[in-house]
Structure 1
Amino acid sequence: MSKPRLQTFGEGFAARKVIAQAIDYPDGTHEIAHVHHRAQLVYATSGIVRAVTPLGLWMLTPGNALLIGSQIEHELHMVGQVSMRTLYIEPDSLSPQDHECRVIPVGDLLRASILGLFDAGSDEAGESRAALIVPLVLRLLQDAEEGPHAARLPLPVNTRLRNICESLIAQPASNDTLERWADRVGASSRTVARLFRQETGMSFGQWREQLRLAEAMSRLSVGHAVAQVAQDLGYADVRTFTVMFRRAFGSTPAQFVQRFRERGVV
């Protein structure tokens, strides 16, 4: 495996606690594995972002951001047209995190503060405005509660299991059995089952179901039809999908979509 890229920003930005960068991505864009000296807040105002680290897959729906720790290797996958507004934060400006990444709900004040950094402009007045906004953003990030646990799916370190998981991420509708996957990676089904529990805390079936539900949550949040999501993710029918979704999230897919519509997201 090639060594991940280290992304830097040059001496001109070294003194800034927060560097704001706006990037628009077409559907299917993939940023290869890389690391930053700074922590990174990944926030998309539209589209879905998947972030993959050595230990987890993070699914970001609208209304949530991901704070990636300094020096954490990660790659990003874009689903749909993604408008990303990302902040690169000097590590000393934040308290140490308990985990490599943290999902952060983006409420109205944090959203306005993030977007305000991009509206500030580069003239003297804009720099002065940004100097007022940055401490607010840092405080809001510091005080933010943990976002939904469903946004994170643990990934195994074992190479054979990792290959299975990456194949399922690419094709979540696959209903191939554990035995068939084990044959493909040259291991016994018993070994694969044991390693899945050991490295992810879940059975193979539970992990695949969590992947599908995370995918469903992301697709629904950007306007995909419930029936289409159920079909694309390998469910037998809409009813089966609805039962699994309600069991995981406490609401039906239609109720989930309605909440997003009320917030003006879908």
Structure 2
Amino acid sequence: MSQPKLQTFGALSATRTVVAQSIDYDDGTHEIAHVHHRSQLVYATTGIVRAVTPLGFWMLTPGHALLIGSEVEHELHMVGQVSMRTLYIDPGALTEGGTECQMLAVDALLRASILGMFDPSLDDEATVGAGGADTRERLLVPLILRLLQLACERAPDKRLPLPGNPRLRRICERLIAQPASNDTLDDWADEVGASARTVARHFRQETGMTFGQWREQLRLAEAMSKLAVDHPLARIAQELGYADVRTFSAMFRRAFGCTPQQFRQVLHDAH
């Protein structure tokens, strides 16, 4: 990743515990590597967000958000038309204010609370006009902080780990850009100028997975994102390097216990 850009929010937002921002993105939009002084909750009501940090790779499917710690370098890639509702949070307001990232399940109450931060009808017009705190912030911010704390306490580690070794990192970034690649470990080792045995050893040491396991997990994450934005199964199979839909579906069912069609229906029902 390139040198990260620092993004700030100006003096007017400095005293607010939570700064809410709504942004719509076109498919394929890329937010370059950057950092914030605040923690950031990334939540998309439509579309898929792919987040990449020095710590790992996350695919945010519907019903999930990513809490990015303050000062954590990250870049965001949009899949489909993305409507993002982001909260920038004073890290001192979070019980867990470290530098880790956590993918959180967004239940109905947390979703409604996040969306409420963008609903001006919840404000008391007289109070806002007098320069006082917005009613919605006074009501919702304590609830959101409590719900985030509870979500963090039960959040599993859902990241796909990325290695720190520059050669291995280059392999992973190339695969993220081209998940259909079926190049072998020997092919990649030749490209980065190392032996296949050395690459395999360091891959397991740094990610806890073999090269083959890591590539399959990447493809599963990509498959979920493409299913969520209604790509045809034949196109998904081709874009992920599978011989045909049957092979792709068998892999998906082995990993998740359901077919791609059933997974897509669950996503649609969640909306």
Question: Where on the TM-score scale, by shorter chain, does this alignment land: which range?
Answer: over 0.9
Kindly report structure 1 stretches of 4+ aligned residues shifted beyond 6 Å: none
Give 1:224 deviation, angstroms: 1.7
Query: Does the 8 Å contact 1:35/1:73 carry over to 2?
Result: yes
From 203, 225, 229, the equivalent of 1:196 is 203
Q: TM-score, normalised by structure 1?
A: 0.93
From 116, 141, 146, the equivalent of 2:148 is 141
RMSD over aligned Cα atoms: 1.8
Give 1:231 deviation, angstroms: 1.7
Distance (Å, rounded) in 1 between the aligned partners of 2:149 and 2:156: 17
Residues 1:60 and 1:5: Cα distance change in structure 2 (over 3 Å): same
Match of 1:113 in 2: 113
Farther off after superposition, 15-24 or 28-37: 28-37
Alignment of 1:71-220 (within 5 A): 71-96=71-96, 100-120=100-120, 123=125, 124=127, 127-144=134-151, 146-147=154-155, 149=157, 151-220=158-227
Farther off after superposition, 43-52 or 248-257: 248-257
Distance (Å, rounded) in 1 between the aligned partners of 2:254 and 2:207: 20
Q: TM-score, normalised by structure 2?
A: 0.92
Count of residue correspondences: 263
Identity %: 70
Q: CA-to-partner distance for each residue in 1:160-200, whole Å, 9 max, x for gaps?
A: 11111000000000001111111111111111111110110
Structure 1 unaligned blocks of 5 or more: none
Match of 1:7 in 2: 7
Distance (Å, rounded) in 2 between the aligned partners of 1:99 and 1:88: 14
Give 1:98 deviation, angstroms: 7.1
Structure 2 unaligned blocks of 5 or more: none
Give 1:120 deviation, angstroms: 2.6
Query: Does the 8 Å contact 2:72/2:99 carry over to 1?
Result: no
Give 1:228 deviation, angstroms: 2.0
Distance (Å, rounded) in 2 between the aligned partners of 1:262 and 1:55: 32
Query: Does the 8 Å contact 2:67/2:104 carry over to 1?
Result: yes
Secondary structure at 2:164 match in 1: coil
Distance (Å, rounded) in 2 between the aligned partners of 1:135 and 1:260: 29
Query: Does the 8 Å contact 1:102/1:146 carry over to 2?
Result: no
Farther off after superposition, 226-235 or 61-70: 226-235
